[in-house]
Amino acid sequence: MIDFTINNQKVSAQPGWTVLETARYYGIDIPTLCYHESVKPSGACRLCMVELKEGDWSKLVASCIYPVQEGIDVHTETERVNNVRRWIFEMLLATCPASEEIREMAARYGVVSTQMPVHDPDQNCMVCGLCARVCEEVVGLSAIAVMDRGVHKKIGSPFLRPTDVCVACGCCVSVCPTGAMQSIFDTVRGKPAMEMTQLAV
């Protein structure tokens, strides 16, 4: 067992666990969006940032990918952590304003409005890529992927054309943290999901 502290509370973790897994085991709250236990963590949404203190020195790490180490001093609610968290919620409220899930989650952490400009009021995808990872790692297909880069990054099928690779299993829809996949889903096969499901049967 690996012993360390989270918010000054003594915790023990199995070797190979991450800080997030340990915190969840002990019921310590850390918000996440792109994390799902069925796939490898990617550290994209950065909501799970925690502060690692070592004397006067400290650094922020993504708890979903940070492997536990003996004696580390983890804090989940410091000023620096909260600053990152607040700004990420503001970014999320601006980039996927149509997502009910994001609004509720941000409100739980005290962020109800954003000073950032909203460019697309209908957008609800935050491009965390969880859907694509599930499709690749769990379903084994990669019918969808994250494409392009920077502010142009988006989710879709190859060349944004309907693809037969998709089997309409719906895994991506069920893991999507913002509800965006419901609308993207139909464009992947180019046919309504209902029709697809009947074909599969």
Partner 1 sequence: MSNVSEALKIEDWRLTSAEDLKALQKQILSGRDPNRPEIVVCHGTGCLANGSEKVSDALRTALADAGIEAKVMPGIKTTGCQGFCSRGPLVLIRPGGLFYQRVKPKDATEIIEKTLLKGEPVKRLLYKDPASGDTILNEQDIPFYKLQERVVLHNIGKIDPTDIADTIAAGGYQALAKALAGMTAEQVVEHIEQSGLRGRGGAGFPTGRKWRSALKAIETKGRPVYVVVNGDEGDPGAFMDRTIMEGDPHAVLEGLILGAYALGAEKGYMYVRAEYPLAIKHLEVAMVQARELGLLGENILNSGFSFDVRINRGAGAFVCGESTALFTSIEGKPGNPRPKYVRSVEEGLWGRPTILNNVETWANIPLIIGKGPDWYKKLGVPHSTGTKVFSLVGKVNNVGLVEVPMGVPVSAIVEDIGGGVPGGQPFKAVQTGGPSGGCIPYSLKDTAVDFDSLTKAGSMMGSGAMIVMDEGDCVVDVGRYFLRFLEEESCGKCLPCRLGLSRMREILDNFSRGRGSEQDIEDLISLAQAVQDGALCALGSSAPNPVLTTLRYFKDEYLAHVNNQTCPAGVCKELITYTIDPGLCTGCTSCARQCPNNCISGRKKEPHTIDTDQCIRCGICRETCKFDAVRVS
Residues that bind partner 1 (CB under 8 A): 42-46, 49, 60-62, 65-67, 80, 83-84, 86-88, 91-92, 94-95, 115-117, 126-127, 129, 146-153
Q: Least distance from C-beta 60 to partner 1, angstroms?
A: 4
Q: Least distance from C-beta 201 to partner 1, angstroms?
A: 35
d(CA 180, CA 64): 22
- The residue (of 20 and 196) whose beta carbon lies closer to partner 1 is 20
- The residue (of 13 and 196) whose beta carbon lies closer to partner 1 is 13
- The residue (of 27 and 117) whose beta carbon lies closer to partner 1 is 117
- The residue (of 68 and 172) whose beta carbon lies closer to partner 1 is 68
Q: Least distance from C-beta 120 to partner 1, angstroms?
A: 13
Q: Least distance from C-beta 140 to partner 1, angstroms?
A: 17
CA distances from 64 to 34, 36, 61, 140, 190 (A): 9, 9, 9, 23, 34
